[in-house]
Amino acid sequence: MSTTAGPGRTLRRIGPFEVPAIGLGCMNLSHAYGVPPTPEAAEHLLRTALDEGVTLFDTAALYGFGANEELLGRVLADHRDRIVLASKCGMTGVDGRRVIDGRPDTVRRTADQALARLRTDTIDLYYLHRVDRQVPVEESIGAMTDLVTAGKVRALGLSEVSVATLRRAHAVHPIAALQNEYSLWSRNPEQGTLAATRELGVALVAFSPLARGFLTAAPPDPAGLPAGDIRRAMPRFDARHYPANLTLRRRLDEIARDAGRTLSQLALAWVLSRAPHVVAIPGTRSVAHLRENLAVLDLRVAGEALDAAGAVLNSATVHGPRYNEATLAEIDTEPCGPAG
């Protein structure tokens, strides 16, 4: 049985840093989910997050092809001593296209560009966003190690990788964080990386813990998703699978109501209950939703409710893989659930 979730304001460790169990994923302020908010709205969201005690802010060179790093630089540069700033290399925008490139020269160049956009001398946590299958991970991590030596980066991370790749990278330089998708409907970390990160002293940073908006009060209507929204290409949101997933969601909603929590709070509490080295980075454009998510730090959710939620939605019950075939081919994580 799951233990009762109620992490309070207890801090969790990422390498040399201690952060609240919930940080902020900043991608959707510039990228991936249709038309981004206005700069004013995005800046207000970030400032509110600061005021509400968020200290871990997560961005990447890819997000908005640099625009997200620039946004965080504008808002957060004057607060560097209060925050842990995370960004990523290895996947960027080139001539309007997403490109995976883990070559050492590209890693170093991307880092210098990130430092300029973020208006900082040092990035606290720098991830390899994707493993470039044409470049041994040891070479990419070697270049990132050089960044640590030069004082441009404090700690290293990996994103969307397997246990084997984590161990190979960790042998080159200590890895502080592994960022993988983890939620009620995406259980890939349970195929090995959850245990391996615990063994190695690596934080598991869960992105999309609310299942890309599916586990919120207003789940997306796939028919109304704007052009460019990445969920249009995700099988779990297509007409073959989405109705069945909505049926599961309705049962989760009942569990949340019985527990006196919102669905988002139940879903976040479930992720945080998996292990004390798990940190979640939900993203949002809504100040109200930001506060709803952060309230989980001060709430308790009974283990019975967490177990019930996990039984309703999991890798065996979810309908559809998390990515289409082309994207799954780029991902190094262990497969889990329908077709990966």
Catalytic residue positions, numbered = 63
Question: What is the rounded CA–CA span in Å between residue 153 and residue 307?
Answer: 39
Which amino acid, one-letter code, is at 29? L
Strand ranges (DSSP E) for the chain? 12-14, 17-19, 24-25, 56-58, 84-89, 91-94, 97-100, 123-128, 153-159, 175-181, 203-207, 278-280
Cα 96 off chain centre by: 23
Q: How far is CA 129 from CA 50, 62, 89, 285, in A?
A: 25, 9, 6, 23
Give exposure, 271-302, as e/b (b: 16+ Cβ within 10 Å).
bbbbeebbbbbbbbeeeebbebbbbbbebebb
Tokens of 320: 């559809």
Q: How far apart are CA 26 and CA 75, in angstroms?
A: 12
Q: Which two tokens stand for residue 241?
A: 């699978």
Instruction: Look up residue 212 and give its two tokens.
Output: 């890309």
**Contact indicator for 61, 88 with CB cutoff of 8 Å:** yes
Q: Which residue from 320, 299, 298, 301 is spatially nearest to 309, judged by alpha carbons?
A: 301
The neighbouring-strand residues paired with 87 are 126
- Which residues 6+ apart lie within 8 Å of 223 measured at CB? none
